[in-house]
Every structure is written in structure tokens, then in C-alpha cells.
Amino acid sequence: MTKSADTHCPYCALQCAMTLTSPAALTPAVQPGSDPVAEQTAPSVAPPLLTVAGRDFPTNRGGLCRKGWTSASLLNHTGRVTEPLLRGTDGVHRPISWDEALTRIVAAVKETRAGHGGDAVGVFGGGGLTNEKAYQLGKFARLALGTSRIDYNGRFCMSSAAAAGMRAFGLDRGLPFPLADLDTASTILMLGSNVAETMPPFVQHLQGARDAGGLIVVDPRRSATAAFTSDGGGLHLQPLPGTDLALLLGISHAVIHEGLADAGYIADRTTGYEAVARSVGSFWPERVQSITGVPAGLIRETARRLADGAGKGGSYILTGRGVEQHVDGTDTATAAINLALLLGMPGSARSGYGTLTGQGNGQGGREHGQKADQLPGYRKITDPAARAHMAKVWDVPETLIPGPGLPAVELLKSLGQPDGVRCLFVHGANVAVSAPDANAVIAGLRSLDFLVVCDFFLSETAAEADLILPVTQWAEEEGTLTNLEGRVLRRRRALTPPPGVRSELWIMTRLAELLDAPSTFSEDPETVFEELRLASSGGLADYSGIDYAMLDRGEAAYWPYPAGSDGTPRLFLDAFAHAGGRAVFTAVTPRRRTPSAGAAPVAAASAADRAGTPMTLITGRLMEHYQSGAQTRRVAALAEAQPEARLQLHPAAAAAQGIADGDYVSISNERGVVSCRAELSTDIRPETVFLPFHFPELESANRLTEAATDPISGMPEFKTSKVWIRPAVSGDAVSGGAAGNRSGVQVLQAEETS
């Protein structure tokens, strides 16, 4: 077995470089117990199999956050699933052999296909899967399962910014420049992104702007990132949730009217300026102040600092989920891009626009065929040339490749419905916690004929599964991921996986065989990557010039990287990706919101719960947890620091309801009820409350979010939900303290020792 491996963190898109070392004293690959019952009585603390050390790299410069430092504790976690588990008629999951597991899956798929057609089988992927898995999963769905119904959880995070980037630039790469370019910037405008909590080592790259007084953070909360703007670091703009689009139009208005726009750039490199100038004409700062609550003076100041920075060390505009996860998320990201274009930023050497990708492989995961509407290389599935290309690479008739499927929210809504999906595969996602309107999603999962979940823990989604397949963790596998800069990185194996565990590539390959699928499948990551190179060749996200050997030599590989080129660290320097080479301004204005039809009040919350003044719920992340918390809630150090969801609430709002710090509160709307403790803080606007979305069951924030989506991207509205808050009363179901210990899903925490 390997003694040490240079790899990257298993969590977010910053993909901090780390070295995993196997302490010589330890016996290799501790065998977790084979009996799940015995497992729970076993001591929950085992010494870690690997030590983690930060490694110098341009993105993290040796830094790691708590999540990364403690990541190895999950490798030999006693709660880990190490054998296929089949749910019996009594609802209890019991181990079965791999042969039996595969046989049952094949039978379920064949039965579903025969009875209801190929599209009754669905696949839900994840932005944490390696490029190889994501690529082969798309191929597996379309060729082996014969379904169009594949989409992934990246639809919840990146699709609006991706759609806006495609519309404006003809290409979507989260950051079209290396992260270290930010270091010398004079002004950085961050909208709806709290990197100080979500990817702490990123903060190093904001220091230059902070020193120049040019960090501008837009957030309804005084987040840890917003707090960096105090003491001369910059400005904090605190708009009402859901008004970011108007705010951006106001800043653009000030840019145009104060003569700050870069006329030469607009004339030479863009089209559509006039329509945008007209559309922002009616958003003068004082009017925008009335909509957003942000003083007109700050709106003008932001415009001036951006313009000033663009002329000096550089200006950057970065957007995050806070402004993108809305029903007008694509338009909001477009407004941010328009502002950047007005100032001549994208495609310049020292300025730019970017969106901060969230999940570990949120970038690569959206490029290679996991999306309902795409084929590998960021190709459109409806484009005849793209289909012909893929048919050739896969050596199948073009007609065998299905057309576009359904985006994630629609896919999940279709579960168990007539003409919907009846047999579902879930890979690297925990939709029971992470998807909007989680109660409805869980009901959908329960209505399936057959649910297969690949995971290494009994996540809340796995708990609903008919069959759970244990898969490898990051330190046990080889592959590549593409970080938030569009740089392709190597994940390397440091440890032999437990004997009962398989890689998803192996599972897909076996199943494809048993289903008599056309084309070829492989369990070897490098073989899959070699095919991915061919598949992506000539596409927007072209990886054809990248191979494992060059990555292993430490070369920085930024796509597009056509064979024979040197890759593209900085995009758009000469031309944008649209035909003609110009960036496209698209005029956007806030749509008039109509109450969503079909939101029939489920009797989840009684009318009494919804008395009084509604508040606006926003959701987000905590430093200690990652996504649905399926992993981080099982790390003792992290769970101790943040054991439960807490509702962040302004003291003035709390006082009106007689709520004190630490009191249990009930948060409800027509979709569901959440019960947790209140945390009073003046860091949040008085009409707004915040819940982290890492927690399940009674603390699951997504019980309250609505499955309404952006019409262009299909991204859900996570960030503004109307809720009613009241103190919990006896008789309310109340969570028991430590997360997870109140349901059928036993969460054990691994002690992390260093």
C-alpha cells in the first residue's frame, strides 16, 4: 500500500492540495465489522488511517480548513457502509453479496423498462464525483439504462451562473482566470458568497483588496466575509433578500451616468450595450435604495470603486449561490456580468467576472454529460453535430443516444408519478436533505419501485433506499477533478479500500455488462479519462490535450486544452467564445413576481402557526459542515463545534415573539416545519432569518424551501422563502440535541486525533 499521496481535499471546489500519509505504525486497512448490528456497539473511535497535511499550491498555499484537516477520520469510521445492504420487507437493511446486489438491480431495471419504458429509470448524479465517474455516469444512463432522465445536484448550485456565462461569453468556466490573479486586485465585489466560512483558504486571495480598502461584500447578513470589510477593508452592502438584481442595475446605472463605462471596450468587444443602457435607465440609485434598502450613496461608491480598481490593480466581480439561487438567478448573474462588461473587465489581463463553484467537482461535473441537456465536452444534447460526434466516440448509432431529459427539480418531482421515474440511481447526492421542498422529495423517494443509492454512509437518502452500494472514498481512488478555476487536478489513492467496497466505475462497468450495453465501460480511471479526452475533443470544455502523466508532473492544466495546445489559464483575452468573438449584453430587469400557482397548502403547518408577520428565510453553509452534512456531521470535532441547526435571528425580531437566545423555535410555512434553537444576532437584517442546510429531519432547512425554479437554468429558489417563526411549545416535536440521533439513521462520530 501507498505510504503517502499528494492529492486534494474531498470537499469543496477550492480543492485544497493536501498530502495523505499512512503512519507506519498502523496496520493497513482496518476492517470494519461485517455485521451492521455489531458495528453499532463497536467503539466509535478508531485511530485514523492517514494523517493529513496541507500542501503548497497556488489556490490554498498550504492552508486547509477544519473540514479538510479532519477529513481522514471518515475513512475507518465505524458507521461506514462496507457491504451492499438490501432493505427487507421489515424495513431493515441487511448485507447481501455483490452478485446478488447486481442481479437485483438488473432485474429491477429490466422490469421497469419493460413495463414503463426507458425513461422510467432515472439517474441522479453529484458535483462531487470525479470527472471519470461523471462522464461514465452520463454514458451509463444513456447507453446502458437507455434513459434521458439524468441530472445532478449541481443543478442546485451552478446552473444559473452557467446559463448566464454561456449567454454572455459563449462559455462557462467558473473563474475564467487563475485564482491567484485576485491577489493584486484593488477592488473585489463579492455577491452572495461567504468564502470565509465555505472555503476559508480562499480568503488569502482577498487580502490585497482588503489592504486597498476595496473589498465590497453584498450579503443580507454580516457574514464572516462581510466582516472583513470593516476597519477600512471596504464596504458591506446589506440588501433585502431577493433584491440583488435591482442592486446590480443600480450600480450599472451609476457607472453609465457617471461616465465610468469603458466605451472603447464596449465598442470593440461587445454587442447589445444600448439595450442594457436603456434598461438600467430607470434604476437610478435612489429608486434602487427604495427597493433594496441599500443607501444610494453606497451604490454610487461601489460603482466608482469598481471603475477605479479596473484602472489600477484590477477589479473583479464574483457571484455565489446567495444571488444565484433564485427564480431570477440567471438574470441576476447576467446583471453582474453586464456590470463587468460595462467596465471592460472580462477578458482583460487584470480584471474579470467569475462565479465561485461550490462542490468539489462542481466544475468538471457540469461539463461531461451528467446534465439532462448536455453531452461530454459541454456539448448540447440537441446539437446534431454533437450527437454525431458522441455516436462516433461511443461507436453506437446516433439514434441510440436519448434526447434531453428533465432538470433536477423536475426529475425529482416526477418520482413515482405516472410517466415519471420509478427506478432511481443516486450517486454522490443526498437529495433527502439538499433538494428544495425536502418533504416532497422524501415522499417521492418512498413512492419509487426501486431506489439504488451509492454512498459510503447511511445518508438520509440511503436510508430510503432499497439497495445501498458501498463505494470508495476520495483517499481510496484515482481520478481527476476540475477546480473552481477550471484547472484539472489529480486525485490520488493513499489507501486500499475496505474489501467489500467498490468504485462506482466498477459498478457501472459490471451493470453495463449485465445489461448488454453497447460501447465500452471501464473500471480503470485512466482508461475512462482517455475516452473522456476523445469525447471532449472539439467541445467547449476540451480536455483532449490533458493526460495523467502531465498532471502527475504537476503541470497546470486549464481547459480548454485541445491536443497540441498549452491550455487556457486566462480565457477571453483575445476573443469571447461566441461566433464573432464578442461578449453579449442581455438586458435584464426584475420580473414581476406572481404567487406561484400550484403551491397548494399542504396541511403541514396549521393556520395558527402562520399567524403574525412572515419573515424571509435564507439558507446557507457553516464553516464546519459540507453540503447535506452526510460526511461532516460524522466527524466528532465538527459535530461538536456545530452539533445542530440554529436559526439566526435579529434580537428585535426575537423580542417581538418573546424568543430568547437558545430557545427552541418553530419555523413553518405551507411546505413544512423546522424546529431548532434560536441564535440571536445583530448580524442579520431584522426581517430576515438564516438557517444552515446541513441538517436532516426536524432541522432540515429544505423542508421550507420551494421547488420553484429559474425559467432558464432550472435552478431552485433556495434563498427566499416566506416563513413564520414562533417559540416552540410543549407538544412540538423537538430535536434531541446532537444531530441525527433521533431517527432511524444512527450517526456515529469519528474522533479525529492528530
8 A C-beta contact, residue 356 and residue 362: no
The CA distances from residue 174 to 11, 445, 486, in Å, are 17, 32, 7
8 A C-beta contact, residue 693 and residue 358: no
Judged by CB under 8 A, the number of residues near other proteins is 61
Whole-angstrom distance, CA of residue 557 vs CA of residue 647 = 42
In 10 A of CB 273, how many CB atoms? 18
* Options 382, 565, 741, 754; binder of other proteins; rule CB under 8 A: 754
Q: Toward other proteins, which CB reaches closer, 656 or 660?
A: 656
Which is nearest to 372 in space by CA: 529, 153, 109? 153
What is the Cα 637 distance to its own chain's centre? 23
300 binds other proteins (CB under 8 A): yes
613 binds other proteins (CB under 8 A): yes
* Options 94, 110, 116, 257; binder of other proteins; rule CB under 8 A: 257
Helix (H) or strand (E) holding 673: strand 672-680
Q: Spell out the residues 6+ positions from residue 206 whose beta carbon is closer than 8 angstroms to its own.
A: 182, 188, 195, 215, 228
Q: Please identify, among the stretches 140-148, 227-235, 348-356, 715-723, the one whose residues bind other proteins according to the rule CB under 8 A.
A: 227-235
Tally the residues of the chain: 754
* Options 1, 443, 655, 733; binder of other proteins; rule CB under 8 A: 655
* Options 29, 45, 96, 203; binder of other proteins; rule CB under 8 A: 203
Mask for 1-40, x = binds other proteins (CB under 8 A): ----------------------------------------
8 A C-beta contact, residue 696 and residue 739: yes
* Options 56, 90, 231, 395; binder of other proteins; rule CB under 8 A: 231
Identify the three-state secondary structure at position 636.
helix
CB of 282 to other proteins, least distance (A): 6
Angle at 154 between CA 150 and CA 159, to 5 degrees: 100
CB of 158 to other proteins, least distance (A): 23
Cell numbers representing residue 166 in the block: 454561456
733 binds other proteins (CB under 8 A): no
Restricting to residues 59-78, name those near other proteins by CB under 8 A: 61-66, 69
Mask for 279-298, x = binds other proteins (CB under 8 A): --xx-xxxx-xxxxxxxxxx
258 binds other proteins (CB under 8 A): yes
Which conformational region is residue 504 in: left (phi greater than 0), alpha (psi within -120 to 50 degrees), or beta? alpha
Mask for 614-643, x = binds other proteins (CB under 8 A): ---------xx------------x---x--
128 binds other proteins (CB under 8 A): no
Whole-angstrom distance, CA of residue 486 vs CA of residue 463 = 34
Restricting to residues 425-454, name those near other proteins by CB under 8 A: none
Whole-angstrom distance, CA of residue 131 vs CA of residue 136 = 8
Strands 716-717 and 672-680: unpaired
- Position 143: which residue type? L
687 binds other proteins (CB under 8 A): yes
8 A C-beta contact, residue 164 and residue 334: yes
CB of 206 to other proteins, least distance (A): 9
- Position 708: which residue type? A
CB of 599 to other proteins, least distance (A): 18
CB of 572 to other proteins, least distance (A): 26
Cell numbers representing residue 544 in the block: 483532449
Query: What's the DSSP call for residue 593?
Result: P
Which is nearest to 67 in space by CA: 456, 460, 491, 631? 631
Q: Toward other proteins, which CB reaches closer, 118 or 686?
A: 686
Q: Toward other proteins, which CB reaches closer, 252 or 480?
A: 252
Q: Toward other proteins, which CB reaches closer, 261 or 707?
A: 261
CB of 195 to other proteins, least distance (A): 9
- Contacting positions for other proteins (CB under 8 A): 54, 61-66, 69, 196, 200-204, 207, 222, 224, 227-228, 230-231, 240, 256-259, 274-275, 277-278, 281-282, 284-287, 289-298, 300, 592, 613, 623-624, 637, 641, 650, 652-653, 655-656, 686-687, 754
